[in-house]
């Protein structure tokens, strides 16, 4: 379990440049907590708190508008994480998290993180700064994509990022609804449905049950 937590910490951009010896000490600060299905782990606006690492299960990260519309930011699975920003500032939570199935998390409390940072100041500080720089570059690329790419390009990119190789074929193992795709790329469900229908009828996609098969490279434009 400790190795799983350490591996996940290495995958968090904020900590990816921190030496393993120091990061192992942070992993030892984690506590485990279980959540049932459809359990709200945090609300947007909640006070800052721990970093969560998903050991098993799946959660949805989302925002709610004043009009009641819900926008899915991402679906997080085992090996992923959320709440890391709260370790570095005292600002309220920036999104809400709800479980989609029974979920086991490892949590690193903010107080434990602050104590660890004081103890490993030299090894950790430069690594965290480098990790944050990498994160800023990634966010800049995401904003560029939203600003400069059309809906089809964003959808195509999302489909490819969601796919894994299975039997020499690209597949999306867990079907995402058209509404969820629309929320992720900032489009309407109707537009996403039309593009998905065209890609399927054109022989680029095949949907079998909950699995989406990418049969051949998606066209550069739609």
DSSP-assigned letters across all residues of 181-207: HHHHHT--HHHHHHHHHHHHHTTSEEE
Question: What is this structure's pTM?
Answer: 0.66
* Edge-to-edge strands, sheet with 96-99: 40-42, 96-99, 58-64, 70-77
In sequence order, the β-bridge partners of residue 34 are: 104
88 and 14 Cβ atoms separated by less than 8 Å: yes
Enumerate the β-bridge partners of residue 52.
82, 107
d(C-alpha 9, C-alpha 107), whole Å: 11
176: left (phi over 0), alpha (psi -120 to 50) or beta: beta
What pLDDT is recorded for position 194? 93
* Chosen CATH of 149-214 out of 3.40.30.10, 3.40.50.2000, 1.10.10.10, 3.40.50.920: 1.10.10.10
Q: Which helix (H) or strand (E) holds 58?
A: strand 58-64
- In this prediction, residue 115 carries a pLDDT of 92
pLDDT truncated to tens, each residue of the chain (222 aa)? 788 888 888 888 788 888 988 999 999 999 999 999 999 999 999 998 999 999 999 999 888 877 777 777 778 888 888 888 888 888 899 889 999 999 999 999 999 999 998 898 888 887 888 877 777 776 676 666 666 578 888 889 888 888 888 888 888 887 778 888 887 787 888 999 999 999 999 999 998 888 889 999 888 888
- pLDDT value at position 197? 92
Parts of the chain belonging to CATH 1.10.10.10: 149-214
Domain span(s) for CATH 2.60.120.10 in the chain: 2-146
CA distances from 191 to 23, 108, 214 (A): 44, 41, 19
CATH number given to 2-146: 2.60.120.10
> pLDDT at position 176, please?
78
* pLDDT of the residue at 147: 63
At 169 the pLDDT is 86
Under a CB-based contact definition with an 8 Å cutoff, are residues 110 and 87 in contact? yes
């Amino acid at each position: 379990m400790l190795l799983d937590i350490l591996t996940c910490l290495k995958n968090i951009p904020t900590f990816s440049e921190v030496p393993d010896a120091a990061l192992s000490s942070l992993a030892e600060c984690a506590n485990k907590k279980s959540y049932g299905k459809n359990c709200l782990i945090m609300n947007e606006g909640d006070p800052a708190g721990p970093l969560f690492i998903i050991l098993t299960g799946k959660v949805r990260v989302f925002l709610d508008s004043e009009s009641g519309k819900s926008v899915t930011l991402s679906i997080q699975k085992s090996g992923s994480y959320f709440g890391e920003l709260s370790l570095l500032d005292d600002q309220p939570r920036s999104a809400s998290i709800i479980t989609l199935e029974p979920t086991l998390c490892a949590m690193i409390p903010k107080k434990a993180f602050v104590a660890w940072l004081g103890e490993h100041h030299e090894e950790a500080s430069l690594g965290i700064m480098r990790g944050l720089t990498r994160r800023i570059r990634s966010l800049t690329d995401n904003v560029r994509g939203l600003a400069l790419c059309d809906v089809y390009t964003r959808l195509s990119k999302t489909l490819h990022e969601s796919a894994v190789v299975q039997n020499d074929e690209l597949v999306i193992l867990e079907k995402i609804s058209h509404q969820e795709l629309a929320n992720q790329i900032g489009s309407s469900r109707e537009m996403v449905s039309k593009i998905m229908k065209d890609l399927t009828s054109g022989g680029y996609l095949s949907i079998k049950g909950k699995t989406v098969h990418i049969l051949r490279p998606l066209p550069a434009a739609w």
